[in-house]
Structure 1
Amino acid sequence: MNSSDPVLRLRVLAAGLHAGLYAEEHLALPYDRVWTVVADLEAELPHLVPFLREFRVPPGDPDRKRALAVGRSGLTESFEVRLSPGWCLMQSRLIVGGMAAVPEAGGTRFAVLGATRPTALRPAQWIYGRLLGERRGRAFTRRVAERAVLR
């Protein structure tokens, strides 16, 4: 396995977590435009995740930091964020989210994952994955492309 390929790393992580949401697509957009959207978590994540009102990312270390997600309902969750070119991994005590991108002929290969952390939530994750995971993953990818076109 080529560990320098972020999309491949995310695919392996999704398999290991039995992710309820995983999507991977070729976007006919330059990598820089796609990754500019993905890396701007504070401004863009609320546009990409329908139930998220805001995602607060403090200034500081660009590679590893704590962030606070605020849902539309007002619930909050603290996340550890690892962000580097082509790779974004966000983990809370309950949720793992990730995005990855690599340049690919004529555009960008982009992937997104969403999974639960506690094993006790696996049955709910399995049901979500079967009912909505693929559709939500495609919708997320489509929103990333739409936001990248606007930049």
Structure 2
Amino acid sequence: MTDWPVTALDPVRRLRVLAAGLPAALYAEARLDLPFTAVWPAVTLLAAGHHPPLDVVLRPGLCLLQGDHVLAATAAAPEGTGTRLALLAALRPPPTAAACAVR
């Protein structure tokens, strides 16, 4: 047991953190006047139409598509009576020498 503070990040905040750690990431965020229950099903339809070689990670409020060289993601979280929606696109950075040594 520790006395460290604990916090949980919603999917939009997680995506914001990911964008901050990627060089030259394109990131956009907006509030929609639609409930999360109306927005998120539309986002998941987009993920269902992906094409290989993209891998898809789909969780409530987070859709991550990644390939060898590209990363794209959408996140959504309820905000009052609306939804906060975020989009991310970036080139995946090449592996570092340390990461290659682990393989």
Task: State the TM-score bracket (shorter-chain normalisation).
Answer: 0.7 to 0.9
Residue 18 (str. 1) matches residue 17 (str. 2) = no
Report which of the two has the higher share of helix. 1
- Give the 4+ runs in structure 1 shifted more than 2 A: 1-4
Kindly tell me: are residues 26 and 15 of structure 1, through their superposed partners in 2, closer, same or farther at Cα, counting changes over 3 Å?
same
Kindly tell me: are residues 100 and 12 of structure 1, through their superposed partners in 2, closer, same or farther at Cα, counting changes over 3 Å?
same
Instruction: Quote the offset at 1:4 in angstroms.
Output: 3.9
The TM-score normalised by the length of structure 2 is 0.77
Residue 31 (str. 1) matches residue 36 (str. 2) = yes
Percent identical residues: 48
Aligned to 1:101: 76
Consecutive unaligned residues of structure 2, counting only runs of 5 or more, are 1-5, 95-103
Instruction: Quote the offset at 1:3 in angstroms.
Output: 3.8
Work out whether residues 19 and 114 of structure 1, in 8 Å CA contact, stay in contact via their aligned partners in 2.
Answer: no
Kindly tell me: are residues 117 and 37 of structure 1, through their superposed partners in 2, closer, same or farther at Cα, counting changes over 3 Å?
same
Aligned to 1:9: 14
CA RMSD, Structure 1 to Structure 2 (Å)? 1.7
The TM-score normalised by the length of structure 1 is 0.54
- One-letter code of the match for 2:48? E
Instruction: Quote the offset at 1:33 in angstroms.
Output: 1.0
Identify which of 54, 64, 67 aligns with 1:79. 54
Q: How does 1:65-76 map to 2 (within 5 A)?
A: 68=52
Q: Residues 78-116 of structure 1, C-alpha deviation per residue, up to 9 Å, x if partnerless?
A: 111110110111110000111100111120001010000
Q: How many residues align?
A: 88
Instruction: Quote the offset at 1:19 in angstroms.
Output: 4.2
Matches of 1:89 and 1:2 in 2, distance apart?
Answer: 22
